[in-house]
Structure 1
Amino acid sequence: MIYGYSMIGINPPFPALPVGFASATRKLSLVKGDLFAQCFYLEDNETKLCFITLDSLGVSHDIQSAFEQIVHNVLGYDVTLILSSSHTHYAPSLANAMGFVFADADYVRFVCDRLHIMLSKLNLREHPLIITHHTSTNSEIGRSRLSHLGDEFVTLSVISFYHQNTRLGHWVVYNCHPTILPEDSLYLSSDYIGVFMEEMKRSYPNEFTMFFQGAAGDISTRFTRKEKSYEEVIRMGRLLKKAVDTVLESSLKKSELRLTYKHHSIPLSHQFKSIQSLSIPEGISDKEKREFEQGAKMIENLANHPEHLLPEASIEEVCFGPVTLFFQPFELFSSYQKYTNKQKIIIGYSQGIGSYVTELQPKFPSYESLMETISSANKKQLIRIFKPSSTRRKADTQ
Structure 2
Amino acid sequence: MRILGGYGERVITPPFLGIMAGYDKRKSPAKGVHDDLYVKCLVFKKEEEIFVLFSLDVLGVDKKLVDEIKTQVKSLVNIPGEHILVCATHTHSGPSEIFWGKDNFNPEYWNFVVSQCKNSFEEALNDLKESALWYGKKEIYGIGSKRNAYSAERREEGIKCKFFEVRREKDEIAIVNFPCHLTVLDENNLYYSKDLVQGLKLELEENKIKKFVFINGAAGDISTRFYKKESTFEEAERLGRVLGKEILGERPRMKKIEINEPKWAKEIELLLKYKRNFSKEEKERKKAEILQILAQINDKRARRDLESALIVLERPDRDFSKIPEVIKRGEDFLKKIKISLWKMGDIVFVGVPFEIYYDTGLKIEKMVKEKYKKAVVLVLGYCGGYEGYIPPSENFSRISYEVIASPFEEDAEEEMLEALRKELN
Secondary structure of 2:314's aligned partner? helix
Taking the TM superposition and a 5 Å limit, the aligned residue runs for 1:213-252 are 213-248=216-251, 250-252=252-254
Native 8 Å contact 1:295 1:370 kept in 2: yes
Residue by residue over 1:48-96, the C-alpha shift from the partner in whole angstroms, topping out at 9 and shown as x without a partner, is 2221110000111112222222212233454632100000111113643
Pairs within 5 Å for 1:347-386: 347-362=380-395, 363-384=397-418
CA distance in 1, matches of 2:180, 2:236: 13
Whole-Å separation in 2 of the counterparts to 1:225 and 1:100: 32
Match of 1:157 among 155, 162, 169: 162
3-state SS of 1:88 partner: coil
| Structure 2 counterparts to residues 319-330 of structure 1, below 5 A | 319-330=343-354
Q: Which amino acid aligns with 1:10?
A: I
- Number of residue pairs the alignment of both structures matches: 386
Corresponding residue for residue 8 of structure 1:
10
Q: 1:153 to 1:311 in 2, by over 3 A?
A: farther
User: After the TM superposition, which of the residue ranges 56-65 and 20-29 deviates more from structure 2?
Assistant: 20-29
Alpha carbons of structure 1 residues 381 and 47: separation in structure 2 relative to 1, 3 Å: farther
Describe the shift of the 1:125–1:194 C-alpha distance in structure 2 as closer, same or farther (beyond 3 A).
closer
User: Structure 1 11/116 Cα, relative in aligned 2: closer, same or farther at 3 Å?
Assistant: same
Q: Secondary structure at the match of 1:197?
A: helix
The corresponding residue for 1:87 is: 90
- Tell me the alpha carbon deviations over residues 193-220 of structure 1, each in whole angstroms, 9 at most, x when there is no partner: 1221122122124x52100011111111
Number of the residue aligned with 2:51: 49
Closer/same/farther in 2, CA of residues 333 and 54 from structure 1, 3 Å limit:
same
Measure the CA separation in 2 of the matches of 1:230 and 1:101. Answer: 30
Aligned to 1:295: 312
Secondary structure, counterpart of 1:344 in structure 2: strand
Contact 1:162 1:169 in 2 (8 A): yes
Match of 2:338 in 1: 314
Identify the range of structure 1 (11-20 vs 144-153) with the bigger mean alpha-carbon deviation.
144-153
Number of the residue aligned with 2:37: 35
1:186 to 187, 190, 195: 190
Letter in 2 for 1:374: F
State the alpha-carbon separation in 1 of the partners of residues 97 and 269 from structure 2. 23
Distance of aligned partners of 1:302 and 1:202 in 2 relative to their CA distance in 1, 3 Å threshold: farther
**RMSD over aligned Cα atoms:** 2.9
- Code of the residue aligned with 1:314 in structure 2: it is K
Supply the distance in 2 between the matched residues of 1:101 and 1:203 (Cα, whole angstroms): 43
Asked if the contact 1:35/1:194 (under 8 Å) is kept, the reply is no
Displacement of 1:338: 2.9
Distance (Å, rounded) in 1 between the aligned partners of 2:285 and 2:321: 21
CA deviations on 1:359-394 (whole Å, 9 max, x unpaired) are: 2321522111111122344322322466698xx77x
Residues 139-168 of structure 1, C-alpha deviation per residue, up to 9 Å, x if partnerless? 3111111026645472211122234x7762
**C-alpha displacement at 1:174, in angstroms?**
0.8
Q: 1-side partners of 2:131 and 2:306: how far apart?
A: 51
Q: Which runs of 5+ in 1 are unaligned?
A: 394-398
CA distance in 2, matches of 1:277, 1:129: 58
CA distance in 2, matches of 1:290, 1:281: 9
* CA gap 1:288/1:380 in 2 versus in 1, 3 angstroms: closer
Query: What is aligned with 1:196?
Result: 200
Preserved contact between residue 129 and residue 257 of structure 1 (Cα < 8 Å): no
- What residue identity is the alignment partner of 2:308? E
In the alignment, is residue 283 of structure 1 matched against residue 293 of structure 2? yes
Cα deviation, 1:330-383, whole Å, max 9, x if unaligned, reads 011111133124832211011000111112321522111111122344322322
> Which TM-score applies when normalising by structure 2?
0.81
> How far apart, in 2, do the equivalents of 1:101 and 1:174 lie?
32
Q: Give the partner amino acid of 1:337.
A: G
Aligned to 2:177: 173
Counterpart-to-counterpart distance in 1, 2:181 and 2:404: 18
Percent of residue pairs bearing the same amino acid type: 21
SS at match of 1:302: coil
Equivalent residue letter for 1:282: Q
**Pair 1:257–1:24, CA change in 2 (3 A):** same
In 1, Cα distance between the equivalents of 2:194 and 2:29? Answer: 16
Question: 8 Å contact 2:145–2:157 — kept in the other structure?
Answer: no
| Structure 2: tracts of 5 or more residues without a match | 298-302, 327-333, 367-374
Q: Do the aligned residues in 1 keep the contact of 2:275 with 2:409 (CA within 8 Å)?
A: yes
Residues 91, 188 of structure 1: 8 Å contact kept: yes
Post-superposition offset of 1:328: 0.8
Q: Do the aligned partners of residues 367 and 170 (structure 1) sit closer, same or farther apart at CA in structure 2, a change above 3 Å counting?
A: same
Tell me if the contact between 1:20 and 1:90 (Cα under 8 Å) persists in the aligned partners.
yes
Residue type of the alignment partner of 2:323: E
Report the secondary structure of 1:331's partner residue: coil
Gap change, CA 1:238 and 1:125, over 3 Å in 2: closer
Structure 2 CA distance for aligned equivalents of residues 245 and 204 of structure 1: 11
